[in-house]
Structure 1
Amino acid sequence: MKKPFLTLLFSLFTCMAFSQNHILPLWSGTPPLQTDMGLEEEVRQEGIIRIANVQKPTIEVYLPTKQIATGKAVVIFPGGGYGILAYDWEGTDFAKWLNAQGIAGIVVKYRLPISKSLTDPKEVPLMDAQRAIRLVRQNAAAWNIDPAKVGVMGFSAGGHLASTLSTQYNHEVNRPKDSIDALSARPDFSILVYPVISFRDASAHSGSRKNLIGENANQELMDRFSGELNVNAETPPTFLVHAQDDKGVPIENSLLYYQALHKNGVKASLHIYPTGGHGFGFGLNKGAVESWREVLLAWIEETLK
């Protein structure tokens, strides 16, 4: 296990030393579906950086040096049950690692539906996700990114958001529009890491479901936010990874989404590891799951040929 660990450390050090990063707001002024109540964001360092009560959503952009840039980009949605964001563990750490592979990593600090300032909470995470991918495409030339090679990556509840974006990228709500809205919000590929997918029955992650659509949501709303029910032939190619012993988000979530992708003729790659639990991140010292990132890189290369 020492060699992969040392390789990872070298990759992260290289990225921190040579990559470029900056932060951009998703929206100018008060974001849509939000009332300015003077609430403040909460940031806690508890082994990992946990962010709650996001009021000003942003993208944090990590760009590889031009000498190694591949033109590919991954928009990253950290997990946290729609209650917090595991911002470094499932966000910036991966953006830096992607930079070492010549891939731009863009971490989205999206608004969380439990915030009291939101007027229609269930719509807000998807709206922020759509805006994030459109902003990347708007800046593609300046950031040395191919606008046809922009994918998404989501962890746990962030995986639910990534799958919702992948199946509902054209969903609209009534709000003021600008020129950025003319750009496509469809990801070119999706990477779902121990994702929440279904809000139905035993497969549901009750915390994510409650935080996004409420405890007593009707069947129509549960179905709308169950990714496996919304896959069609236009859903992007997808890479899924899950651990069989995941006690937080049942493995059935990834299985259901893969089955829907396969049924609709969408290219998909499903990787199941016997151990790793929930929230394994890089998978360091977790056994075979530690190799999942190398498998992912090969899949991205094959998918974007």
Structure 2
Amino acid sequence: MTTKHLIIKSLILVLLLPAFALAQYKTESIWPGLAPGSENIKDQEQWSENSKVSNVYQPNITPFLVKTDSALKPALLIVPGGGYRSIAMNKEGYKLAQWANENGISAFVLKYRLNEVDGLRDAQRAMSYLRKNAKKFNIDENKIGVMGFSAGAHLSGLLTMNRYPIKKYDQLDTFSPKPNFWIPVYGVFGNIFGRWGSHYPIEDIPPIFIVHADNDSRVPSLNSVDLYSQLKRMGASAELHIYEYGEHGFALEEDRGVAVSSTVENWSQRCIAWLKVKNIL
């Protein structure tokens, strides 16, 4: 292929990208320099035209801040899904951050490395980063939660429930990575309890709001039912919403282009109501 053809192809791809993919969201690094373990990676990050990113080697967060007044805001670390193969940054990230802002919550979208071990360290670093910089972001350090979708729900579960000791990299790791609340949406949760299992201390489990569709063909809703059952056996505070229809990946619904149950569309309103009941909002 000639240079001319490559240039033309690149221009066509740019024109096909939606406007949000071209917007320069400000990001903040959660590691100084390259993240540990990424030093020898040679593949470049790949962004698709529907704003999914793969080959992540430099994790970061994208802040969406509420600036309506000087009062401290609750905060939400948003972990989009993608099966640990890519990350749906727009559909399960930026759009949810905008929804959070509309409801008075400052949000931070996490771009993480695509394996459980490195991804968990990235999520822990992000949570610690928010606590360290709570004043800078004008957020309440005691009201910082995490919301995850699909694989992001699994990763956010590891962040919430796993208590393996962290090997401290620098001073940032002295700030707690523990979320104050957890919102998993159509997730799979097989190993999130780690070695503690049912003996996990109840006081360490934050309030949890679980969402799933019963006709999910990728991740059966029994994953969320089993999670809820385990949490209740442990005496945790949890709320479970199973909708008959919605399939997998419904997020905020507006861009699915398919008919789904109207009831699944109200999960986000129920979530806001739950946050108010828990005095987070």
**TM-score (normalised: structure 2):** 0.83
Tell me the distance in 1 between the aligned counterparts of 2:62 and 2:209. 23
Judge conservation of contact 1:198–1:228 (CA < 8 Å) in 2: no
Matches within 5 A, 1:3-152: 22-45=26-49, 48-67=50-69, 71-113=73-115, 122-152=116-146
What amino acid maps onto 1:273 in structure 2? Y
Tell me the distance in 2 between the aligned counterparts of 1:279 and 1:123. 24
Structure 1 position 302, deviation (Å)? 1.2
Q: Which deviates further from its counterpart, 278-287 or 138-147?
A: 278-287
Q: Choose the corresponding residue for 1:193, options 166, 182, 185.
A: 185
Structure 1 position 67, deviation (Å)? 2.4
Q: Which deviates further from its counterpart, 123-132 or 229-238?
A: 229-238
Shift >2 Å, 4+ stretches: 33-39, 66-70, 170-174, 222-225, 227-232, 283-286
2:15: which partner in 1?
A: none
Tell me the distance in 2 between the aligned counterparts of 1:148 and 1:69. 14
Task: Report Cα offsets for 1:198-219 as digits up to 9, x if no partner.
Answer: 26xxxxxxxxxxxxxxxxxxxx
Q: Which deviates further from its counterpart, 159-168 or 36-45?
A: 36-45
**Change beyond 3 A, Cα 1:223–1:23:** closer
What amino acid maps onto 2:53 in structure 1? I
Structure 1 position 283, deviation (Å)? 3.0
Q: Secondary structure at the match of 1:276?
A: coil
Over the matched positions of the two proteins, sequence identity in percent amounts to 36
**Change beyond 3 A, Cα 1:38–1:143:** same
2:264 equivalent to 1:289: yes
Structure 1 position 101, deviation (Å)? 0.9
Task: Report Cα offsets for 1:214-273 as digits up to 9, x if no partner.
Answer: xxxxxxxx9849x97685411211000000000110111101111111111111110010
2:222: which partner in 1?
A: 252
Judge conservation of contact 1:228–1:256 (CA < 8 Å) in 2: no
**Change beyond 3 A, Cα 1:290–1:68:** farther
**Change beyond 3 A, Cα 1:300–1:223:** closer
**Change beyond 3 A, Cα 1:68–1:173:** closer
Q: Secondary structure at the match of 2:84?
A: coil
Give the length in aligned residue pairs.
Answer: 252
Judge conservation of contact 1:22–1:62 (CA < 8 Å) in 2: no
Q: Secondary structure at the match of 2:155?
A: helix
**Change beyond 3 A, Cα 1:230–1:192:** farther
Q: Which deviates further from its counterpart, 61-70 or 186-195?
A: 61-70
Task: Report Cα offsets for 1:140-198 as digits up to 9, x if no partner.
Answer: 11111000000000000000001111111x42354x52111111011000000001112
What amino acid maps onto 1:157 in structure 2? A
Structure 1 position 66, deviation (Å)? 3.2
Task: Report Cα offsets for 1:52-92 as digits up to 9, x if no partner.
Answer: 00011000000012328661000000000011001100001
Q: Secondary structure at the match of 1:275?
A: coil
Matches within 5 A, 1:143-182: 143-168=137-162, 170-172=163-165, 174=167, 177-182=169-174
Tell me the distance in 2 between the aligned counterparts of 1:270 and 1:154. 15
2:269 equivalent to 1:277: no
Q: Secondary structure at the match of 2:26?
A: strand
Q: Secondary structure at the match of 1:107?
A: strand
What amino acid maps onto 1:177 in structure 2? Y
2:264 equivalent to 1:264: no
Tell me the distance in 2 between the aligned counterparts of 1:232 and 1:245. 33
Tell me the distance in 2 between the aligned counterparts of 1:69 and 1:245. 41
Judge conservation of contact 1:237–1:267 (CA < 8 Å) in 2: yes
Task: Kindly report the root-mean-square deviation, in angstroms, between the aligned alpha carbons of the 2 structures.
Answer: 2.3
Unaligned runs of 5+ in 1: 1-15, 114-121, 200-221
Tell me the distance in 1 between the aligned counterparts of 2:71 and 2:188. 31
